[in-house]
Amino acid sequence: MDELNKSEKKVRLRLGNYKTTFTNTAIDSLSLKGQLDKGQYIKVMFKNQRGIWLYWSPVKKKKKFKYRFRFERKDYDIDLGEYIKGFYGCEEVLSKLSDIYKKYKEHGKWKSNPKEELLTNSELVDSQKLTIRKVIEKLCEYNFPRKDIEGKLASINA
């Protein structure tokens, strides 16, 4: 019986369920019902929007929108941006989500996984960046093209 009690203590306790309406004023008026450890967040569900969640960290004072969807029997999360009062809120999230729907949904079903598509674009950008070593090698190949010209040196100049 002691082993069972020890295993229950290791399980991370969740705070009470937070449900609110999908409006900027409701998101602004969120308040904490207790204490929260550093690095933890609260998952807020919206009553009138299915699939959209708000990940709220009262310690860091950040709120992020995420959309959870199911594609080929697996759950995925898409980051829809961080809530910024007066600049990025519910209307912007819905417009971003409608763009994703137009691009990846057909007749109410997902035609491809938008999460994989977003990852490949970011990986492509990262792969095109040059490392310092490669920049130095290119400068040597081109016989130091900016040695006589004043200004800063960047990887696009090589």
CA dist list (Å): 137 to 52, 111, 130, 131, 158: 48, 44, 11, 10, 9
Tens digit of pLDDT per residue, the chain (158 long)? 555 455 444 434 444 467 888 888 888 888 877 776 666 788 888 888 888 888 888 778 888 999 888 888 888 888 888 888 888 888 998 999 888 888 888 888 888 888 777 766 777 777 778 788 887 887 788 777 666 666 666 666 55
C-alpha span between 6 and 106 (Å, rounded)? 49
User: Could you state, in order of their start, the residue ranges of all structural domains in the chain?
Assistant: 2-108, 113-158
Contacts of 142 (CB under 8 A, 6+ apart): 158
Task: Give the Cβ contact number of residue 42 at 10 Å.
Answer: 19
Location of structure tokens 């409701």: 26
Helical pair 90-104 and 114-128, crossing angle rounded to 10 deg: 100
Q: Provide DSSP, 73-89.
A: TEEEEEEEEE-BTTTBS
Q: Measured in whole angstroms, how far is the alpha carbon of residue 6 from the centre of its chain?
A: 35
Q: Would you state the structure tokens that stand for residue 98, as one six-digit string?
A: 């409608």
Q: Which CATH superfamily is domain 2-108 in?
A: Integrase, DNA-binding domain (3.30.160.390)
